[in-house]
Amino acid sequence: MCNEFDVTARTLRFYEAKELLFPERQGQKRLFSKRDRARMKLILRGKRFGFSLEEIRQLLEMYRPGDAQLPQLRKAYQIAIERLGDLEQKRADLDAIITDLHDQIKWGERLLESMASVSHTQ
């Protein structure tokens, strides 16, 4: 499981403690089912999109096989829309910061050039 998803054993134990994964235990060994693997894919996708572990846990708990997935899909859609708004705002903030930093660098370059030319004339 660690190799398959490029995570540490500690991460798997953490997700188990947070009730996101439910491996079968045989002594010290943990045996992960296909269901655990599917949940792990969703956990990692949710994390990549910026969902909190609590949001991921709630979505995973809402899952019902068959047609009863509508509540889960609605909740996932709502969270995704909110997350997209957050990410777009962060991108806009970063774009403004990058523009400002470019302007400051240009100002610094001009200042350095003018100071260098003054020192050469003396």
The size of the chain, in residues, is 122
Calpha distance 51→89 (Å, rounded): 16
Distance of CA 21 to the CA centre of its chain: 18
First to last CA, the chain: 69
pLDDT in tens, 60-117: 887 766 666 787 788 888 988 999 999 999 999 999 999 999 999 999 999 999 998 8
Tell me the pTM.
Answer: 0.67
Contact 16/23 with Cβ under 8 angstroms?
A: yes
φ and ψ of 24, to 5 deg: -75, 140
The pLDDT assigned to 34 comes to 92
